[in-house]
Amino acid sequence: MRLAIVGAGPAGIYAADLLIKAERDFGVEIDLFEQLPAPYGLVRYGVSPDHPRIKGIITALREVLDRGAGGEDAGAQRTGEGTAPSGSIRYFGNVRYGQDLTLDDLKRHYHAVIFATGAIRDADLSIPGIDAEGSYGAADFVSWFDGHPDVPRTWPLEAAQVGVIGNGNVALDVSRMLIKHPEDLLPTEIPANVYEGLQASPIEELHLFGRRGPAYVKFTPLELRELGEVRDVDMVVDERDFDLDDPYVDEHLMKNKQIVVITRVMNQWREAQRARRAGEAPQASRRLHLHFWSRPVEVVTDDAGRVAGLKIERTAPDGSGGVIDTGEFEVIPMQSLYRAIGYFGSPLDEIPFDDRRGVIPNRQGRVLDAAGDQVPGVYATGWIKRGPVGLIGHTKSDAMETLECLIEDRESWWTPEIEDPSAMPALLSERNVPYTTIEGWHRLDEHELGLGEAEGRTRVKVVPRDEMTRISRGE
């Protein structure tokens, strides 16, 4: 069996690993295609650089790719010579589906394809002024500070007061990267251009907004604690947010141990705030304000059309886990604003797409057409399948569901015209696609680690795509 997987983030790599284990007795050859020169998707380009524990997942993903590559000569793979062994994974980076490779190409070379392209765009927030100058999507900012090769090298960090809309871990990552003193990021793998940009930031205050109360947040306790441990930053809370009577919290939410821990952390911040106001503790040079029960209703702009503030409406609990509007409005001054309200998938050439949900329509991973009928040979896994929900660990069970359906559908698979493994490298070379391999990723990985070692850091990422590709290909 020859299978193509488009997307080499956790979803695609886990799917490849599980499929090889499931088909151990029959043998399966998997070609993994990734649009970026380096693998790992959002683990490399969606996790803030001061999260080395989370990035440890890369170690497990690398083991899958290396184990799947076996003893294959990756140099031979690059030139189109040699073949992939049974039960193997070949990695083709810097290959764009829909540009370098089409659905017809996949049908000619494989029995089926799994799309694991994830969700990398920002979800929309439909309020007046959201498109003003100085208003940004969190996903774009995350891509910038993670050194994504397809975003500009500079970022406009010119605001002393900044707002972030969202109460999830991405909102915390964005807030922490904005408010943290850049020198405290030097031990991490932060790219040089990002460090220089953050150094120039005049930020003094950051405002974080959530529509519901403190007990409803989607943060993990670890992320929240890390935010409160940022050096020389005071955590500022509004006591009004903790005084509202909400029976739903005690009856339901406080049974969750994570919410109990989160509540404890916020109570510690409240105590520290009282101590500062009483003159019993020093004031930090930067402040992070948490605004709960705050629904964004409008981005206020100045005469030049730039962000000048965020108008919010105070909400209140409805007693059943929701909120009601109070008609009480407030404007928080700021000069830039980030929305971190979720990611959204992107459509793929010749593949059905749900524009409302941002996913490939599917039933348990089987891709469906507009009439709701199964599209033979085409499957989905990860966020492009289920939407941007769940942590990385959920990706394995999600992939297993898709693979069970794929294996069950053997009779409806494509019949490839070309089953010679050397044909795909030859096709890409013929089209002048400078693709990268597992061997190439090792070369780039060692280069980045070497750059970091020279500066006493973990790693220094190479950012430009052409430079990543040249290093990977040994050119």
Strand-by-strand arrangement of the 307-317 sheet: 294-301, 307-317, 323-333
CATH number of the domain enclosing 373: 3.40.50.720
Q: Which domain holds residue 92?
A: 2-120+345-472
39 and 66 share a domain? yes
CATH number of the domain enclosing 299: 3.50.50.60
35 and 135 share a domain? no
Q: Report the SS3 class of residue 232.
A: coil
257 and 284 share a domain? yes
**Total of domains in the chain:** 2
Residue after which a domain boundary falls, among 295, 310, 339 = 339
265 and 165 share a domain? yes
157 and 293 share a domain? yes
User: What is residue 79's predicted lDDT score, i.e. its pLDDT?
Assistant: 40
Residue after which a domain boundary falls, among 339, 362, 387 = 339
User: What is residue 394's predicted lDDT score, i.e. its pLDDT?
Assistant: 77
148 and 58 share a domain? no
113 and 129 share a domain? no
User: What is residue 86's predicted lDDT score, i.e. its pLDDT?
Assistant: 52
pTM over 0.75: yes
450 and 324 share a domain? no
133 and 100 share a domain? no
Q: Report the SS3 class of residue 355.
A: coil
Rounded alpha-carbon distances, angstroms, from residue 54 to 229, 303, 343: 18, 43, 19
User: What is residue 77's predicted lDDT score, i.e. its pLDDT?
Assistant: 45
451 and 407 share a domain? yes
233 and 356 share a domain? no
Residue after which a domain boundary falls, among 321, 339, 357 = 339
In tens digits, the chain (475 residues) has pLDDT values of 899 999 999 999 999 999 998 877 667 999 999 999 999 998 899 888 888 777 678 888 999 999 888 744 444 443 444 444 457 999 999 999 999 999 999 999 999 999 999 998 999 999 999 999 999 999 999 999 999 999 999 999 999 999 999 999 999 999 999 999 999 998 888 998 999 999 999 999 999 999 999 999 998 898 999 999 999 999 999 999 998 999 999 999 999 999 999 999 999 999 999 999 999 999 999 999 999 999 999 999 999 999 999 999 999 999 999 999 999 999 999 999 999 999 999 999 999 999 999 999 999 999 999 999 999 999 999 999 999 887 666 788 899 999 999 999 999 999 999 999 999 999 999 999 999 999 999 999 999 999 999 988 888 999 999 999 999 999 9
Q: Which residues contact 362 (CB under 8 A, 6 or more apart)?
A: 368, 379, 380, 385
* CA atoms within a 13 Å half-sphere pointing along the CA-CB vector of 392: 20
104 and 65 share a domain? yes
